[in-house]
Amino acid sequence: MQPPPGYSVPEGMVCRLRRSLYGLKQAPRAWFQRFAYVVTATGFSAGAHDPALFVHTSSRGRTLLLYVDDMIITGDDPQHIAFVKARLGEQCLMSDLGPLHYFVGTEVSSTHEGFYLSQEKYIQGLLDRASITNHRTDETPMELNVHLSATDGEPLDDPTRYLHIVGSLVYLGVTCPDISYYMHILSQFVSAPTQLHYSHLLRVLRYLHGTMSRRLFFPCSSSLQLQAYCDATWASDSSDRQSLSAYCVFLSGSLIAWKTKKQTAVSRSSTEAELRAMALVMAEMTWLRWLLVDFGVSYGAISIARDPVKHELTKHIGVDAYYTHAQS
């Protein structure tokens, strides 16, 4: 690395760093250790299932602190929240932005009924960078029954824009579950995109242009019950015959988690593909249940998962079936 501006190093000499500089590989870890030390000194303890979540419990209530690149402090103990902000202000350079409205690209608005999450500003910025200036929109992200392959169309002369847009759209998965499946498809061609792949990518952008005002809603009053749904398409990828798993998880009717992912092994039957999808969603449900426990919420495929008998034709998928049965 080059010495910082203003420092001259004689030839043949090196610098010894006493602290981590911004940009070094170890800098984020050193900063997080410092941050964790400060917040634990105020009475917080790290969440057992998410190292970026810190929890404080007292007779006045519970306080939660979520750290990413920025911080969200919430809870029903305003006295401790004020104390934590004061301590952080003494130990670190920080700004109190007041009530939550914007957090790492996600817009948050609140009403008496609940909270709304959206990324309208982020989508508009992406459309501007992609030079989508007309008002044309599409009702769906992709046409029905489209099957793309790596050899479709002519290769792009410069795939930089394709890579940039795909990477930006992946981040939109925070609030746009409706494009999850299509981004799973288009992201498979980032190593060698073609003109046809790029045309389908532009269709996704035109769809977002017409739906950017849609938001996720989380009501204030709910029973905090988890519900999950999963599905699988058996041997749907013609290039390698791998199946596709997908799931969505609801908390009291509000969508909080979703994923579309190609299965790592080739399933020999639709039953096996379904069980792999069930194991995937059960792993997510297990983590979410433990995360809710950190929040202070306690929690005291169907026929094969409930049946302890392993049939001869399905014993090769016993691991996923046993895991799903054990977590049910």
- By the 8 A CB rule, do 37 and 43 touch? no
- Residue of 96, 57, 64, 49 whose CA lies nearest to 286: 49
CA angle 119, 124, 126 (to 5 degrees): 95
Quote the pLDDT of residue 221: 80
DSSP state of 20: P
Beta strands in the chain (DSSP E): 45-46, 53-58, 61-67, 71-75, 102-103, 106-110, 114-118, 216-219, 226-233, 244-251, 254-262
Tokens of 310: 């392993």
Q: Domain coordinates of the chain in residue numbers?
A: 27-98, 117-211, 223-327
Give the pLDDT of the chain (328 residues) as one tens digit per residue: 677 778 788 888 887 777 767 777 788 888 888 888 988 999 999 888 888 889 998 888 888 888 766 889 988 888 999 998 999 888 888 888 888 899 888 999 999 999 999 999 999 999 998 888 778 899 999 988 888 888 899 999 999 999 999 999 988 888 999 999 999 899 999 999 999 999 999 999 999 999 999 999 999 887 788 899 999 989 887 777 889 899 999 988 899 999 988 888 888 888 889 989 998 999 999 889 888 888 877 765 444 455 544 444 454 455 555 555 556 5
Quote the pLDDT of residue 326: 57
3-state secondary structure of 327: helix
Quote the pLDDT of residue 301: 45
Quote the pLDDT of residue 302: 46
Domain 223-327 superfamily per CATH: Ribonuclease H-like superfamily/Ribonuclease H (3.30.420.10)
Show Cβ contacts of residue 277 under 8 Å, excluding neighbours closer than 6 positions: 230, 231, 232, 245, 246, 247, 263, 301
Q: How far apart are CA 278 and CA 259, in angstroms?
A: 12
